[in-house]
Amino acid sequence: MKFKIMRSKFIEGLKAVQNIVAGRGSLPIIQNVLLEANGSELKMTTTDLDISIRTVCQCEVQESGASTLPVKLLFNAIAKVAEGEVEVDIDSNDRASIKAGRAKFRFAGMPSADFPKLPQDEDAYAYTVPQQTLREMLRKVAYAASQDDTRRTIKGVLMSFLDSKLTMVATDGRRLALVENEMEFPKNAEKDIVLPSKAVAELQRSLCGEGEASVMVQKSQICFRLDNVMIYSKLMEDAYPNYRQVIPKDTAEHIIVDRQLLLDALDRASIMTMDEAHSTKLTFSSGKLSVSSTASDIGEARDEVEIKYAGPSIEIMFNPTYVMDPLKAIDDDEVTINLNDGHSPAVITCSIPFLYVIMPLRQN
């Protein structure tokens, strides 16, 4: 195999795939990148067996072929050379010679035949979603997914294709984020899938275009086609919990507040929550919200925000990070905080089909 490629295109492709590589101690072949040169294209593929990613870029192919090289080593080498043409020559024994300007490298590769095969798309459900829509929906919910390895059923994002809508949900048991977007798909393509957290993170990194994303769903696999990048992932097998039962059906009090002012006040008050008590008290009264945090033997932080509210006084305690996360993820100027009292879950909503349920902390 022999090809020439501009350094900028080579490094862009390697950057797109290098995150999906198994760590040391795993099969050596999956610490490599699969390089396939044919026609005028170079395909680069990596996998950790749970998730795979492939990107395609233009190059000058002088001799078609395929091989695998250590991806981290290759990326570091190409990252350090000057911009210009890179010449890659890999012989029949998978030994690579790379030349970039005056720099020369030699790598020992492994046969492409040993590299795991990518899943096929047969019998897949197909959906088309604008990349920007997919990116924004993930931004609004992904932070709420559980990071606990012992709670695998909620360590990911639910994607529900139902009733001509795509609904995404994430929860860690203490909070829940939900966003919906209308889309068209046939009735027989209604389906719930759970995307693992690693696939969510890689998808968020890769969703940078403005075109359409093609989503292909099989029984246990999903494939996202994004411009020149394809992401394949295993799906989580466990059924997602019934999240709707934790969403309060009715709330008595509805408080409208400036999103940025509330975010800033929480940020200032949270400086006192670094140690033992990661909690902030929100006190709602007529026309005013008081935000306060206290750390024993250290001090207190307090701030006030004007609100649109004329109901009874309510005191409620939250983890401030859990309140700030959704405020950072949405773009509305105002949000509505829906409450019953200081002991029941609160619901944050805005002008789009988004809601966020947060459990209060116990007050001493």
Range of the domain at 315: 247-358
Residue 295 — very low, low, confident or very high, per pLDDT cuts 50/70/90? confident
Whether residue 203 sits in one domain with residue 109: no
Cβ distance 134 to 207 under 8 Å?
yes
Q: Final residue of a domain: which of 195, 222, 241? A: 241
Residue 273 — very low, low, confident or very high, per pLDDT cuts 50/70/90? low
Mean pLDDT, residues 254-270: 95
Whether residue 236 sits in one domain with residue 253: no
Residue 25 — very low, low, confident or very high, per pLDDT cuts 50/70/90? low
pLDDT at residue 275, as a whole number: 53
Whether residue 260 sits in one domain with residue 341: yes
CA distances from 105 to 73, 98, 101, 246, 357 (A): 10, 5, 11, 58, 54
Mean pLDDT, residues 140-157: 91
Domains contained in the chain, number:
3
Whether residue 345 sits in one domain with residue 270: yes
- Cα angle 123, 195, 48 (rounded to 5 degrees) comes to 85
Mean pLDDT, residues 112-124: 85
User: Domain containing 291 — which CATH number?
Assistant: 3.10.150.10
3-state secondary structure of 316: strand
The CB density around residue 309, as the number of other CB atoms within 10 Å, is 20
Whether residue 64 sits in one domain with residue 106: yes
Work out the percent of the chain whose per-residue pLDDT is above 90: 83
Identify whether 12 is part of a domain: yes
Whether residue 132 sits in one domain with residue 96: no
Q: Final residue of a domain: which of 114, 137, 171? A: 114
Identify whether 207 is part of a domain: yes
Q: Reduce the secondary structure of 152-168 to three states and give it as a string.
A: HHHCEEEEEEECCEEEE
**pTM of the prediction?**
0.90
CA 158, distance to chain mean position in Å, is 12
